[in-house]
Amino acid sequence: MSTAPENQVDELATLREEIETLRQNLVDKNRQLQDLQAAQRATAAANNGANNGVPANFSTPHVNDLTKDEIERYSRQLILPGFGVTAQTKLRNSSFLIVGMGGLGCPSSQYLVAAGSGRIGLVDYDLVDRSNLHRQTLHTECTIGLPKVESAKSALLQINPNCEIITYKTLLNSGNALEIIKQYDVILDCTDNVVTRYMLNDACVLQHKPLVSGSALQFDGQLTVYHYGEICPCYRCLFPVPPPPQAVTNCGDGGVMGAITGVIGSMQALEAIKVATGVGETLAGRLLIFDGANGIFRNIKLRGRRSDCKVCSTNPMITQLIDYEFFCSMHASDDNQALQLLSPEERIDVRQYIDMRSEPHLLIDVRPPNEFEICRLPSSVNMPLKDVLDNKFVEEFQNELDDKKLPIILVCRRGNDSQIAAQHMCNKYPSHTIRDIVGGLYAWHYQIDNEFPIY
Amino acid sequence: MTNNDLNISLEFSAGAELLFGNIKKRQVTLKGEEKWTIRKLLKWMHANILTERPELFIQDESVRPGILVLINDTDWELLGELDYEIQPNDNILFISTLHGG
Ligand SMILES: [Zn+2]
């Protein structure tokens, strides 16, 4: 028995709608559950000491500010030498702002909330995507498509309903950063881009807040505390000039191992707890480097505060937040920006490519070999951009290049690298027909074949 | 090998190794009568072991913004940066800063 296509379409739409309703229902029910649990605890607390069938009701005086629930919940920290009631109470009276609810923000918020922080702010503008789940461990299959801050909040309240959690579904920027940051004691940089890192640094310096900064890519991680204490440098003291954009790789392009962000994010929570409670010695003035591929931690002694730092010196040039996208010549998100290297007539779209597939042509996929292994178009051959730029294609495709009429088509993941490759090859072979596919394999997925995987 | 040879180790981390044939650690011998500074070492690296896009490593005779130089696990800024005089068995680490999360 087969279903007619139009029925399938209807069924799909209905199912999607139902799932969306159920999702919303789940969020509502979770909220109700949390409210009820809170009310129940309040009643229990009020009744505590009232008669429970015990003849003489005896209320033992408390020796500290912690409730019975808190003592049970944090018992392993309370009996921990060097932490105890004093640090636990400080932690409960502390607030933390976590900027970025991704691979670093998930573990750091999880440990901060579980450990008994009083108040946590979560900042992220993005929605949960399936490609987040391997490392952003608070989000689940059920919260795909929801705002990350909401998904995280509901997961965190399941762990510890005592913590007050405030969400900001926004991109932190020069307009809102100071106002948000000033409401918190310790700030955690769990962001994914250079622009926000500079902005967050300056905002923390201007508001005199310590900044626990973590970062991760591939198998590597880095961690330090900025602007904490008299001699501790800020991010700008270390990096007065932003890196050239072409030297910056994000997790979406370079990849990242989930456990690496787990390690660094967990350590950010630890550093934040140390800053808030005064326990132990923080990483202020030191940089921790983690080479996860080889299992090596290194602890680097950093310079002190720069006397000519533009923001944290005694005579700062920056006294209010500036335009950080301009300063860095980059955008404040890890979304890939569409490159406009070639003119429209030097490119083809996926539909034009479909039409010319029956004619002889050479389709070169310029992605790295490991990405070529994930998925590819039929009859494509792989030559990574790097090799194209090294002119390895001249020898490899000697026969094809001999035929000036044979069209050469270049494709990549999103249509950026293919433009660089096409431009390079055109310069070398100006009389050949060399085109690249606009939007690359992403366009193929969206316009030709939905079942073709994108990553 | 003469008495003036200077044996040191160079290390690359967090992506900086990609510019140097993807080798994370190497022992090198610097030859010559004169003393070796980091400034001179960078020129030597450019000429001898830098395999990819030099502009992503060197800019205006120094390392490009976003690369930290660490000498025996200490920020080079505390040791004189380009003018630091390299000592026998020094460990010099070049690390790219990461921004992802
Ligand atoms: Zn500074």
Residue A37's Cβ-side half-sphere holds a number of Cα atoms within 13 Å equal to: 13
User: Which residues of chain B neighbour A244 with C-beta distances below 8 Å?
Assistant: 55-56, 64-66
State whether B64 and A247 contact (CB < 8 Å).
yes
Residue A293 near residue A187, CB atoms below 8 Å:
no
* Of B24, B21, B20, residue with least CA distance to B93: B24
Q: Does B97 touch chain A (CB under 8 A)?
A: yes
Burial category of A314 from C-beta neighbours within 10 Å (exposed 0-12, middle 13-18, buried 19 and up)? exposed
User: What radius of gyration do chain B's Cα atoms show?
Assistant: 13
Name the nearest CA neighbour of A422 among A436, A411, A432, A433: A436
Are A276 and A96 contacting, i.e. CB atoms less than 8 angstroms apart? yes
Specify the pLDDT at position A54: 54
The total of other beta-carbon atoms located within 10 Å of residue A220's CB is 25
pTM, full prediction: 0.83
Q: Which domains does chain A have, with CATH numbers?
A: 94-328 (3.40.50.720), 344-447 (3.40.250.10)
Look at A222 and B14 and tell me if their CB atoms are within 8 Å.
yes
pLDDT of residue A62: 86
DSSP conformational letter for A256? B
Q: Domain ranges for chain B, please list them.
A: 6-96
Using one digit for the tens of pLDDT, what is the confidence trace for A189-210?
A: 999 999 999 999 999 999 999 9
Our answer to whether residue A232 is catalytic in this structure is: no
The B residues from 63 to 92 touching A (CB cutoff 8 Å) are 64-66, 68, 70, 73-75, 77-78
Question: Which chain B residue lies closest to A99 (C-alpha atoms)?
Answer: B101
pLDDT of residue A50: 55
**pLDDT value at residue B17:** 92
- In terms of phi and psi (left: phi > 0; alpha: psi -120 to 50; beta: otherwise), the region of A163 is beta
Among candidate residues A163, A251, A328, A426, the one labeled active-site is: A251
Work out the number of other CB atoms within 10 angstroms of the CB of residue A50.
8
| Angle at which helices A148-159 and A5-47 cross, to 10° | 40
ipTM of this predicted structure = 0.92
Report the residue from B55, B97, B101 with minimal CB separation from A102.
Answer: B101
Consult the annotation and say whether A192 binds a ligand. Answer: yes
Strand (E) or helix (H) holding A290 = strand A286-291
**pLDDT on residue A130:** 94
List chain B pLDDT tens, one digit each, 101 residues.
Answer: 556 789 999 999 998 999 999 999 999 999 988 899 999 999 999 999 999 889 999 999 999 999 999 999 999 999 999 999 999 999 999 999 999 88
Which pair of tokens denotes residue A167? 């969400």
Residue of B nearest to A188 (CA): B101
Whether B54 and chain A come into contact, CB under 8 Å, resolves to: no
A253 is in an annotated binding site: no
Overall CATH class of domain B6-96: alpha beta
Q: Where are the alpha helices (DSSP H) in A117-188?
A: 148-159, 177-181
A142 is catalytic: no
pLDDT of residue A1: 46
From chain A, the residues in CB contact with B78 under 8 A are: 301, 303
pLDDT at A247: 84
A298 contact residues in B (CB cutoff 8 A): 73, 93
Tokens of B80: 């004189």
* Partners of residue A103 in chain B, C-beta under 8 Å: 100-101
Q: Is B69 helix (H, G, I), strand (E, B) or coil?
A: strand
The ranges of chain A with pLDDT < 70 are: 1-4, 48-56, 334-337
Backbone dihedral angles phi then psi of residue A271, each to the nearest 5 degrees: -65, -40
With CA atoms as reference, the chain B residue closest to A258 would be B101
Q: Which of A214, A243, A291 sits opposite B101 (nearest CB)?
A: A214
- What confidence score (pLDDT) does residue A56 get? 60
